[in-house]
A and B are shown apart, each in its own frame.
Chain A
Amino acid sequence: MLLQIEALRKSFRDPDGETLPVVDVPAFSLDEGEQVGLRGTSGSGKTTFLHCIAGILRADAGSIRFDGEDLSRWPEARRDRFRARHIGYVYQSFHLLPGYTALENVLVGMMFGEGIDRARAVRTLESLGLGSRLDHRPRQLSIGQQQRVALARALVNRPRLLLADEPTGNLDPAHAGTALERIRESCREVGAALLIVSHDPALLAGFERVEEWSVLNRAFDHAAGAGAPEGGADA
């Protein structure tokens, strides 16, 4: 078992000071190399869930065991190191650094993990068809190319788990399927498990395992009703 989550809870304070439960997941698990789709409406706490798994947010309660170790109890600096080495993360808006070239964006992705390896960064970009775009800045790339740079940055450290938050949300339907297949294939190549979040049922149709967020998350009604922030604040 790569990832095992039990009784995970995360809540935020709303502007009135009231506690707003956003994530309440009794159990969730993911095997090594497994690919899972998580389907749910926008603003229902999915991103918060991914942030907790990545160690960006600290859970209020429960455990997140990664390879048997409970990272929810770790201090922030250790969670940062863990994220750098074992987690790849692809965001809907890609979050590329605008002043950096495609290659530099990938190199930055390596800085906090195993260390900068320019040759590997180049190979990763080439494998995604970006060999001729190494020195291009994000604004000089198409949306699809930007998405591939983000994917390269997420996979270059050979993570054990790739978290993808609406990764095709900015692509038109014609390209979304191809992009998703590229993500899945890339994960297989590096042996990473994949947890992908999407509100689009059609997109996740090809997954053997798709979890319904509304079923998985007992706080779904609270979160969706209050319109939980994307990712939320670290309360």
Chain B
Amino acid sequence: MKGLLLLVSKSIREHALSSWVTIVSIGLGCGLTMAIMVITSQAERTFSQGDVGFDAVLGARGSALQLVLNTVFHLETSPGNIPWSLYRQVAADPRIAHAIPYAVGDNYRGYRIVGTVPELFSEVEVREGERFRFRAGGRVFHPDRMEAIVGSTVAQESGLRVSSTLNPYHGIEFDESARHDEQYTVVGVLEPTNSPSDRVIWIPIEGIFRMGGHVLRGSGDDFRATEVETIPDEHKEVSAVMLEFADPNAGFSLDQLINKQGKVATLAWPIGASLAEIFRKLGWIVRVLELVAVLVVLVAAGTILASITNTMRERRREFAILRALGARRRTVFAAILLESTTLALLGAVVGFAVHAGIVLAAASLVRAETGVVLTLADAHPALLLVPLGVTTLGALAGVIPARSAYGTDVANTLAG
């Protein structure tokens, strides 16, 4: 074996350029394939099956997907508002454990501002067994004061901390000229949750109602709240209500009631099913990417075949010399196979680096856009199967030149 390794390492070094081109192309194919499989699977799992703390979202009549994207991932625009009375109605339903209203439409330097109630932080679990936690010195806002709670990413990127003040900007896109006059004081910074909530600033829902320029149309007529006046419930409206069921069958019956029979609102339930729809629709893109990656791997395997075959003419004499020194046919056969396998194996190692680079870049992008965290430490079967497949393919690519080496005619080659 020591001898075979000497032969293989010499050959790889002798043909360094073609060896490296082969290794890098295998690495790209291998890394690309692993990254595509890992990222799509992890993204689908995180987006569709991730525990978001709620069972359903109630919102304006329209697209359930848009509703989920807007309320759970804080992306997209709100599909519209629903009256406060509907919120009160579901909140009073015994099948509902928690109903948390969201009101959206403002931002602070691009970070979304969501109006809600203090119960979001005191009663709801952000995921199974885990509530929002405040960093030292933080607390929940008072529902009637101009106080704010900021997510961890917002705090880290904007520098906002407890006692900082901020003025919201109108709309979901940052526009310097759309600054509201109201000033909020930060009373709490949340610990990271590795969820889209990390990129949100939370204020009392009353604050959204009273924000200058906001018009409430809960009753059908325009209503502008003043600073001191109590807002009648009929004028209030919310963007969505996040629901946590007390009764596991509530989803089915509410779905019948709201989606099938009703015409005012949409119930996005289950939340993951709405998101899975995206992946179903975009599945073909993933398949195309996977196909491209597999083709890259196949081309890389072809590179192994070509690079070794191209050197066979000059190496035939080398094999004849080795045979004359006592190497058996199967030894030279094994040397070529070991060489092609080694090239593929080194390519697979490079592939892990390529995979890590792509996943880290994608994770950074996804986190910046959605707050969702993708991780390198995800034990996907592709991380074993792809390198194994690539190495096997590399070994197979070596069979043709290995057979040629096996058949080397010693006497004729040495005489030539």
| Minimum CB distance partner of A157 in chain B | B326
Q: Which of A76-84, A140-148, A207-215 contacts B (4 or more CB under 8 A)?
A: A76-84
| Minimum CB distance partner of B317 in chain A | A95
Q: How far is the CB of B335 from chain A (nearest CB, A)?
A: 10
Q: Any chain A CB within 8 A of the CB of B403?
A: no
Q: Any chain B CB within 8 A of the CB of A85?
A: yes
* Pair A113/B326 contact, Cβ less than 8 Å: yes
- CB-based closest 9 A-B pairs: A84-B326, A111-B3, A112-B326, A231-B411, A230-B415, A231-B415, A99-B14, A80-B328, A83-B326
Contacts of A54 in B (CB 8 A): 324
A47–B7 alpha-carbon span in the complex (Å):
27
Per-position 1/0 for A14-58, Cβ under 8 A of B: 000000000000000000000000000000000110010010110
* Pair B3/A232 contact, Cβ less than 8 Å: no
- Do A104 and B327 form a contact, CB below 8 Å, given A229-B415, A231-B411, A231-B415? no
A101–B327 alpha-carbon span in the complex (Å):
19
Please report which residues of chain A, range 95-131, place their CB below 8 angstroms from some CB of chain B when the two chains form the complex.
95-97, 99-100, 104, 107-109, 111-113, 116
Per-position 1/0 for B399-416, Cβ under 8 A of A: 000000000011110110
Contacts of A220 in B (CB 8 A): none
A104–B318 alpha-carbon span in the complex (Å):
13
Q: How many A-B contacts at CB < 8 Å in the complex?
A: 91
* Pair B326/A95 contact, Cβ less than 8 Å: no
Q: Any chain B CB within 8 A of the CB of A233?
A: yes
* Pair B327/A111 contact, Cβ less than 8 Å: yes
Q: Any chain B CB within 8 A of the CB of A66?
A: no
Contacts of A57 in B (CB 8 A): 411
* Pair B328/A47 contact, Cβ less than 8 Å: no
* Pair A111/B414 contact, Cβ less than 8 Å: no
18 contacts between A and B (CB under 8 A): A47-B411, A51-B411, A57-B411, A80-B326, A83-B326, A84-B327, A95-B317, A95-B321, A97-B318, A97-B321, A99-B11, A99-B13, A99-B14, A100-B10, A112-B322, A112-B326, A229-B415, A230-B415
Contacts of B6 in A (CB 8 A): 104, 107-108, 111, 116
- Do A232 and B325 form a contact, CB below 8 Å, given A97-B318, A99-B10, A112-B3? no
Q: Any chain B CB within 8 A of the CB of A234?
A: yes
Which of A47, A51, A109 contacts B325 (CB under 8 A)? Answer: A109
* Pair A231/B414 contact, Cβ less than 8 Å: yes
Contacts of B323 in A (CB 8 A): 56, 80
Q: Any chain A CB within 8 A of the CB of B281?
A: no
Contacts of A87 in B (CB 8 A): 326
A233–B414 alpha-carbon span in the complex (Å):
10
Give me the interface of B with A, judged by CB distance under 8 Å: 2-3, 6-7, 10-11, 13-14, 317-318, 320-331, 409-412, 414-415
Which of B3, B11, B329, B412 contacts A231 (CB under 8 A)? Answer: B412
Contacts of A76 in B (CB 8 A): 328-329
For chain B, what secondary structure do more than half of its interface residues adopt (helix, strand, loop), or is it mixed?
Answer: helix
A231–B409 alpha-carbon span in the complex (Å):
11
* Pair A85/B326 contact, Cβ less than 8 Å: yes
Contacts of A89 in B (CB 8 A): 324-325
Q: How far is the CB of B255 from chain A (nearest CB, A)?
A: 73
A111–B10 alpha-carbon span in the complex (Å):
14
* Pair B411/A234 contact, Cβ less than 8 Å: yes
A112–B329 alpha-carbon span in the complex (Å):
12
* Pair A234/B328 contact, Cβ less than 8 Å: no
A230–B330 alpha-carbon span in the complex (Å):
26
Which of B13, B331, B414 contacts A112 (CB under 8 A)? Answer: B331
Q: How far is the CB of B157 from chain A (nearest CB, A)?
A: 56
Given contacts A56-B323, A89-B324, A99-B11, 13 further A-B contacts (CB under 8 A): A51-B411, A57-B411, A80-B323, A84-B326, A84-B327, A89-B325, A96-B321, A108-B7, A112-B327, A112-B328, A231-B411, A232-B412, A234-B410
- Do A81 and B329 form a contact, CB below 8 Å, given A91-B414, A104-B10, A232-B412? no
* Pair A77/B410 contact, Cβ less than 8 Å: no
Q: How far is the CB of A184 from chain B (nearest CB, A)?
A: 22
| Minimum CB distance partner of A235 in chain B | B411
Contacts of A97 in B (CB 8 A): 318, 321
Contacts of B415 in A (CB 8 A): 47, 229-232
Contacts of B321 in A (CB 8 A): 95-97
* Pair B327/A80 contact, Cβ less than 8 Å: yes
Contacts of A153 in B (CB 8 A): 325
Contacts of B3 in A (CB 8 A): 108, 111-112, 116
Contacts of B412 in A (CB 8 A): 229, 231-234
Per-position 1/0 for A183-226, Cβ under 8 A of B: 00000000000000000000000000000000000000000000
- Do A56 and B411 form a contact, CB below 8 Å, given A99-B10, A104-B10, A112-B331? yes
| Minimum CB distance partner of A94 in chain B | B321
| Minimum CB distance partner of B2 in chain A | A116
Q: How far is the CB of B410 from chain A (nearest CB, A)?
A: 5
| Minimum CB distance partner of B331 in chain A | A112
* Pair A108/B325 contact, Cβ less than 8 Å: yes
Contacts of B11 in A (CB 8 A): 99
